[in-house]
A and B are shown apart, each in its own frame.
Chain A
């Protein structure tokens, strides 16, 4: 179907003779000899049921082909219509009374939102409808419009109505609209648009006969008078004129039910936002999220860990042996640096994926708006509007976008307060450390321990919020809460999966950079000797630059029960990026071992370390450590974001406040805890 001349001919409009009393009331095709069937173009935005309609009208009589000179595929089909017609009174007519057949050539043009030609599909549609001579244009356009998104689909109609073209609008998806309580009155819409409007359901094949009637009737009319376009150089002015027109048309034709009905959503809300049940449900939901995440992700992480510290490391060593590099600092860098680091990174993936999926599902289902209502009271004790809930929740995923999300708060002081509170939300990077420690020290209670950290995080946010408000911003008022609640609906799996994949990809792309660089930097610092007589890369860790720095800091943690220098060094790395904590921690022990593959015993090393540093009270010390990790400083990226939002002074204030809070809390947890455990 690529012969352009044949295509041209098939587009030639049928000659439509003027109506006269003597003209046959039956089809035009009967009268005009030698010309072809009328050509009707089917246009409309994507996802408006256009292709379904095309298939419904043409059945299997379809040919596909490229539009000449383009790579755009266009389907052509034959639409056989029959029309109930009254008894013919023509003098020389020979057609049957009951029906008058007419075969229409139907072109299924690709989905186009408008004639503005931003894409090849739109260019094609514009080319056919707008440019070109009268001979080349189709005889009629059928535009599909989604009833549940009327304004969206009417834009194309508004542009086509500026051309001297016959138009019939086919409204689809009325069932979806009805579910939302919206119904479209086709008569009113037709009056407002100035062209016939027919409701169709291509999937159920209703309305198709009515569409045929409308199309055939319109074919016999002259083209309607086009809408006038305001003269302006500004495209926005012209577009807005169309919008004004279609907005009025949609308003006229859309019928919203007279009284509002109670839905299942409302019944659920009665419980979800109730004074006592609401917060309990909220806590239960959050607990379930973390429980699922830890129980499902943990074995996967374990398996990945073993894989990297086992087979992969051995493979690298074998390769290096071939190159006679084994035992050198190159092996150290590659195996204990890169492989260990990258391996650790990848073990995060199951955890992250699960977390993202669960949070996205909660958001998509509409539950989060209810959670905002439940947490509003808490928010307002801190002087924050309910809207501040959103950045804080984002912070549980990652602190960096949460800082940016504070821009939705109108008041500068509220923004500042929220920015200072965001780092106390336990981001998913911290979760990885909690999960590891939880499984090493708490066994079956790991999920509960992690959940406890999240509860602590929330408590910290509230308490620090209260403290700051009472001391620094006593006069800050709070607006009353007004939140629009969307209806609950089942989350779209496809959208959720797409969102999660995007997040993961972004995480892998950028985290790999940070982690690899940090791991290599740590390795280098560990390789630089400080005492004479040891070679680069062969120095025991505690004598390297890294070890010296860590050892000078670690005594500060003695009252908190974790003054091992390896533990302290993990915290130093955590300042750079929390994702790198576990990798570097493993590294500090790995480089003590002559053989690679011992990183999988990190849990054992840590257990021994805490046992020793806490003087026999490892559990409180671990809890103290986790609390410190929760509260101390956020990663460098978060600090950069904070600086951008509130300036250097406040960022430094935040860092100071966090270090003090973290240390005090860790010491308190250990000193009190060791009385019991």
Chain B
């Protein structure tokens, strides 16, 4: 199983698939946003402090750096 790359190093704009969430505590919270394993999304921009704005399921969601570090994705 492809462990994928850290979201922090994923390129902007390219379609991605979420393959893993490290911290189980955040897994549920992210799932309610539509960010669950296998979900398709894209990174739009970097924000101050190392966060990201991602586009998933029609919604734009800003994530902070600690969350971004938890996520692993691979190119879709």
Contact = CB atoms under 8 A, between A and B. Distances in A.
B62 to A, nearest CB: 4
A485 B63 contact: no
B31 interface: no
Interface in B32-76: 33, 42, 44-49, 51, 53, 55-64, 66-67
B28 interface: no
A374 interface: yes
A181 B57 CA distance: 12
A91 interface: no
A483 B62 contact: yes
A506 B70 CA distance: 47
B64 A273 contact: no
B51 to A, nearest CB: 7
Interface string A266-298: 100110011110110000000000000000000
Contacts of A257: 58
B26 A377 contact: no
A260 interface: yes
Contacts of B55: 260, 262, 266
Given A260-B42, A482-B33, A485-B53, A274 B58 contact: no
B64 A376 contact: yes
B49 A484 contact: no
B58 A273 contact: no
A278 B50 CA distance: 13
Given A275-B46, A275-B48, A480-B67, A260 B58 contact: yes
Contact of A480 (B44, B57, B66): B66
B49 A274 contact: no
Given A484-B59, A484-B60, A376 B53 contact: no
A92 B30 CA distance: 71
A373 interface: yes
B61 A273 contact: no
Contacts of B33: 482
B47 A273 contact: yes
B36 to A, nearest CB: 14
A266 B44 CA distance: 7
Contacts of A260: 42, 55-58
Contacts of B53: 266, 269, 273, 373, 485
A275 B47 contact: yes
A256 interface: yes
Contact of A482 (B44, B46, B48, B63): B63
A150 to B, nearest CB: 16
A269 B51 contact: no
B21 to A, nearest CB: 12
A485 B60 contact: yes
Contacts of B48: 273-276, 278-279, 373-374, 376-377
A481 B60 contact: no
A254 to B, nearest CB: 12
25 contacts: A260-B42, A260-B57, A266-B45, A266-B53, A269-B53, A273-B48, A273-B53, A274-B47, A275-B46, A278-B47, A279-B48, A373-B47, A373-B51, A376-B51, A380-B64, A386-B64, A480-B26, A480-B63, A480-B64, A480-B66, A481-B51, A481-B62, A481-B63, A483-B62, A485-B61
